[in-house]
Amino acid sequence: MKGKRRLALIGLAIGVTVAVLSLPMILNVTLLQADPDRLQEQPALLAVAALEARPVYRQKCATCHGADLKGDHTIGAPDLTDAEWIYGQGRIAEIERTIAYGIRSGHPKTRNLSLMPTFASAKPYARETLNPLTPTQIDDVVDYILAIEGRTPRSAAAAQRGQSLFLGYGGCYDCHTSDARGDNFVGAPSLRDHVWLYGDGSPAAIFASIARGRAGVCPAWTGRLSPATIRALAAFVYRKSHPPSAQDRRG
Ligand code: HEC
Ligand code: HEC
């Protein structure tokens, strides 16, 4: 009798150990089999995946995006908790793709359809012909951006000139669209949402972006992290940028 009970206890212990050890495996298989665009319908799975991703985020991503995911304006690492997306609309599949292949990472599948040209140089853009701008013209465009952001331009006449540069000679509309709301297919950010990748949104910071150009890099993680970990990271970022209260409000 005693021996039987011991045997049963050992059996139970083995069973529990196997179950606990295979939990991450079960989670990974479930994660990978799910349609990433329907994952948000499984909040429990999303929550467990995010829990698994948290230490990986801390180790691989926090140096650039910050421990609080709020980004870093000195290197143009975006805030991953806001509703503003450089690429896509914040769907899990879109976030997952960015994490897997990176942005201007050198991976063949990376996101790299455009860069911010260097308008103060003689040849602003290697990929197509664009007109260089003088410092005065750049200042005019800065004033136009201040105006469309609802801030007071330093000179209304300059903002007016900046508008025609933006929509014509400067070619800004081509990537940022003519209403300056940006194009999240080519990765040109909105210039009127009060969210700045680089610097503090001051006229000097905006001037620097236009004059010297920008080409932020996010590394590719495919091959370095497993597909399940990459999806878990996407779930983590998704949850941080879509807090449950906001989801409730959306219904
Ligand atoms: C070396 C710095 C660096 C590291 C490390 C890094 N990133 Fe990035 N990440 C960036 C930069 C810079 C951008 C913006 C690129 C651009 O300007 O388009 C970015 C963009 C992104 C975006 C796109 C956001 C949007 O608005 O579309 C996501 C998502 C992202 N990173 C997630 C991650 C995750 C998850 C990790 C860790 C696995 C990570 N990044 C590690 C620098 C980094
Ligand atoms: C060929 C496409 C292209 C053109 C043309 C272009 N931009 Fe950009 N711009 C971008 C991209 C892409 C980024 C984001 C770079 C990054 O993420 O590192 C950007 C970033 C910026 C930023 C920084 C935004 C931030 O959040 O910090 C400013 C300001 C800006 N552009 C203004 C302009 C103005 C003004 C013009 C016209 C004179 C212009 N751009 C023309 C592609 C373009």
Q: Whose alpha carbon is nearest atom 16 of ligand 1?
A: 216
pLDDT tens for residues 125-175? Answer: 999 999 999 999 999 999 999 999 999 999 999 999 999 999 999 999 999
Residue 117 is assigned to a structural domain of this protein: no
Are 205 and 140 part of one and the same domain? yes
Q: Which two tokens stand for residue 209?
A: 């972006």
pLDDT tens for residues 166-220? Answer: 999 999 999 999 999 999 999 999 999 999 999 999 999 999 999 999 999 999 9
**Cβ contacts of residue 88 below 8 Å, gap of 6+?**
94, 95, 97, 98, 184
Q: Whose alpha carbon is nearest atom 42 of ligand 1?
A: 218
Are 107 and 144 part of one and the same domain? no
* CATH of residue 49: 1.10.760.10
Ligand approaching nearest to the C-alpha of 188: 2
Residue 7 is assigned to a structural domain of this protein: no
Are 106 and 225 part of one and the same domain? yes
What is the Å distance from ligand 1's center to 165 Cα?
Answer: 31
**Residue 241: other Cβ atoms inside 10 A:** 18
Residue 95 is assigned to a structural domain of this protein: yes
Calpha distance 62→81 (Å, rounded): 13
Nearest CA among 147, 173, 168, 171 for reference residue 159: 147
Q: Which domain holds residue 227?
A: 39-111+218-242
Q: Is residue 197 a contact partner of residue 73, using CB atoms and an 8 Å limit? A: yes
Per-residue CA distances from 136 to 79, 139, 211, 215 (Å): 31, 5, 11, 23
Tell which atom from ligand 1 comes closest to the C-alpha of 85.
Answer: 26
Size (the chain), residues: 251
Calpha distance 104→243 (Å, rounded): 29
Are 104 and 147 part of one and the same domain? no
Amino acid at 164: S
Q: Whose alpha carbon is nearest atom 42 of ligand 2?
A: 116
Are 202 and 222 part of one and the same domain? no
pTM score: 0.92
Calpha distance 190→86 (Å, rounded): 8
| Overall domain count for the chain | 2
Are 141 and 203 part of one and the same domain? yes
Say if ligand 1 is within 6 A of residue 63 CB.
yes
